[in-house]
Structure 1
Amino acid sequence: MVKLTYTGEIRTNFDVGETIGRGSFATVKLCTDVFTKQQFALKVVSKDDPAFDEKSLAHEVDAMMRVSHPNCVHLHGVFEEKGKFFLVLDLVTGGTLMDRIIEMNHFSEQDAIHVTRDILVAVEYLHSIGITHRDLKPENLLYASGDPASPDYNTIKIADFGLAKVMSGRSTMSTPCGTPNYVAPEVIDPARGSKVYGPEVDIWSLGVIVYVMLCGFPPFYQTSTPALFKEICKGEFGFPSPYWDGISSQARAFILKTIVKQPKKRMTASECLEHQWIKSGSPDETFSGKLPSR
């Protein structure tokens, strides 16, 4: 794991500008490289904040330093000064996937396929280098640009590697973590005891994201977290009318191969990319009333 000890002062290398976002223990500011004039997002982390955990930040940095993919937010450098850490990140200006879901109510299948393909190529890459994200959700999927005229307007980047796990040697994952509506059953099932889980958790989360994109609401919903977790652990959900009436059987089949209770029965990211729905680009076949078995 890398140590958070980088030399130099942030203002020697960057002009720090206005605040563009806030998190639980961090502020995000616009910054500009004084030499190249390229703009970045600067995550300013206060060591004095009660919510700050240096070990967790070190894990996040360790994961991000290993990642270099066009569909993942890139970490360009880390600086440490008295009382603060500064993380220099890609500047993405298009808002979150959840912002667009709310704006559009739900996506067309063509738009959903485009987003899903971007996520999948990134997840396939992350899994190939031993990284499981563990917190895929629309709020952690960012559009590269907010300008409709930009070629990056529909480009998705995976962000927030705070819960990401780097797998090396005999390392395993057993810590319950993630976001309630998107977490896989093997992470939260109390019956599993201390059993470990694998990168399949990201595929479950992806399936839930696709479901939300296509109809505007999640497959599992309860007002209390314990009730929600109980429903997720059952793994039973449907495609209620009229919300799913015009959606293709290919899309439903894809979801039924990702939101699967048994982890080993879920498709891998590579298999997802080869699925008929993803490869079709824009299916025009609507639901026939018959779904493949799970």
Structure 2
Amino acid sequence: MTKIQSINNLIQQRKETRLVESHNDLAPNVSTVHAEHSTNPTGELSFATKAAESDEPKNAQAATQETSNQIRQERSVEIDRSVAAEIVNRSKMPQYPGLDRWILVEKLGYGAFSNVYRARDSTTEFGEVAIKVLRSFQMDINQRAKILNEVQIMRNIDHPNIVKLIDFFESQQFCYIILELCTGGELLPQIVRLTYFSEDLSKHVIVQVAKAIEYLHETSGVVHRDIKPENILFLPAPFTPSKNPKPQQPGDEDKEDEGEFTSNFGSGGIGEIKIADFGLSKVIWDTRTGTPCGTVGYTAPEIVNDEQYSKGVDMWAMGCVLYTLLCGFPPFRDESIQILTKKIVCGQFMFLSPWWDHISKSAQDLVSHLLVVDPMKRYNIKEFMEHPWIRQADEETIFTVGLSPLDQRYGPMSQTYPQPLKDVVADQGPCQPVSAHILSVPST
């Protein structure tokens, strides 16, 4: 007998047991007339039974009781199914040495050297968590150093908008990183689902990202170096359908309802925001570094140019994220990595019509102050927080065009039609191509 058949038999036995118990529970409340009816060997109804059946209040009460019994049975079946599903899933989960405290429930993702699972704490101290299991036996010394650096940075970080490190330990062949679970997942699929975010929801997201960056820059001296939608996670929020849906913009045919926005709670099912993945992060305080790393499309010009850089690279990445949230596609895009990097070096982006026609000039102004090629003229985190669009202040902004004239050293730039983010994701598949990263394992 297979494991699935055993589980189905167990469910059937539980259902039969509940049916018997429910009849026994009702027995003391059954009248003599109804008891007589149930034991009548001829199958014919007695006069007393017929009279009782004509009694409408009693019939209504019996019908209500029967309905309640059916609801209880349906709920018990649903519970049995969920229990069975969890048993089956758990039976498929691998057994890792030293991970006895944590019960693996579901596989969430994977990487070159790792698998990520949703797990439950058997001691109930932490509830559900995310566990990153890394195959240390497959890593070289630099890759292992990267993991230890990530853990060391996260141990010294404590902020509500940053994924919390719960524990880290090793076995002979594996490393285990126990992290706070963000049940909403990554922000990238939500941008694809909603096509783009409203200004309210975009602000809700980017302000929380900025608070995390401000903490990293000012309190911990850390530069993240890989801010992008895939590394922004969220906790779900209650969804309220829109009472007065806005007219559709061009390309909105597949856009789902974002719902009513609630201040401090969000919309579109997106609540609290948390940034994750500190694998490329570095403690620099007020110094500079020169290690080329990050993801092309969100990487600052100074990194692309292989120059010394500082915390300003995170501000550039925030500008790329905010641009993407507001219109649904990134500011720098091209099928050719060579042309893409040239556009980044020149700050070659546009507020394309009609996608930006409905977006406020104040929001465009903020983006233009972030996507500035010269890091000395680019907004820092304090200037970002003081911008009128962030403070929701009705103040005039001095619009700064982030575009630079085409640099003749690189020749003409291709003017490509904006590729929807869902197509970009589809092209990339489950894992980004190697060409999408400048360097995924920095040496320092």
Normalized against structure 2, the TM-score is what? 0.58
SS of the aligned residue for 1:217 comes to coil
Per the TM alignment, residue 219 of structure 1 is displaced from its structure 2 partner at its CA by 1.4
> How far is the alpha carbon of 1:172 from its aligned partner?
3.7
Tell me whether 1:142 sits opposite 2:241 in the alignment. Answer: no
Matches within 5 A, 1:23-42: 23-37=111-125, 38-42=127-131
Residues 133-167 of structure 1, C-alpha deviations (whole Å, 9 max, x = no match): 00000010011237648x68421110110000112
- Report if the CA contact (8 A) 1:95-1:146 is conserved: no
CA RMSD across the alignment: 2.5
Larger Rg: 2
Which structure shows the bigger proportion of residues in helix conformation? 2
1: CA distance, partners of 2:287 / 2:380: 20
Mapped to 2, the partners of 1:16 and 1:179 lie a distance apart of: 31
CA distance in 1, matches of 2:371, 2:331: 9
Is residue 68 of structure 1 aligned with residue 158 of structure 2?
Answer: yes
The aligned amino acid for 2:122 is V
Letter in 2 for 1:202: D
Does residue 112 in structure 1 map to residue 184 in structure 2? no
Gaps (5+ residues) in structure 1? 1-7
- Is the contact between residue 97 and residue 141 of structure 1 (CA under 8 Å) also seen in structure 2? yes
Q: Name the % identity.
A: 37
Equivalent residues in 2 for 1:119-158 (5 A)? 119-128=209-218, 129-145=220-236, 148=239, 153-158=270-275
Distance 1:148 1:83, change over 3 A: farther
Please show how residues 1-294 of structure 1 align to structure 2 within 5 Å.
9-11=98-100, 13-37=101-125, 38-49=127-138, 53-128=143-218, 129-145=220-236, 148=239, 153-167=270-284, 172-190=288-306, 192=307, 196-280=308-392, 291-292=399-400
Consecutive unaligned residues in structure 2, runs of 5 or more: 1-96, 241-264, 403-444
Asked if the contact 1:220/1:232 (under 8 Å) is kept, the reply is yes
Aligned length: 276
* Deviation sequence 1:110-129 (CA, Å, 0-9, x none): 11000010100000000011
Shift of 1:96: 1.4
What CA deviation, in whole Å up to 9, does each residue of 1:89-120 have, x standing for no partner?
00111121111110011111011000010100
Task: State the 1:171 CA deviation.
Answer: 5.9
TM-score by length of 1: 0.87
Q: 2:271, 2:112 → 1: CA distance?
A: 28
The whole-number CA distance in structure 1 between the counterparts of 2:236 and 2:172 is: 33
Deviation (angstroms), 1:181: 0.3
Deviation at 1:16, TM superposition (A): 3.0
Write the distance in 2 (CA, Å) between the matches of 1:57 and 1:292: 40
Does the CA contact (< 8 Å) of 1:78 and 1:88 recur in 2? Answer: yes
- In 1, Cα distance between equivalents of 2:381 and 2:361: 20
Higher RCO (C-alpha 8 Å, min separation 6): 1
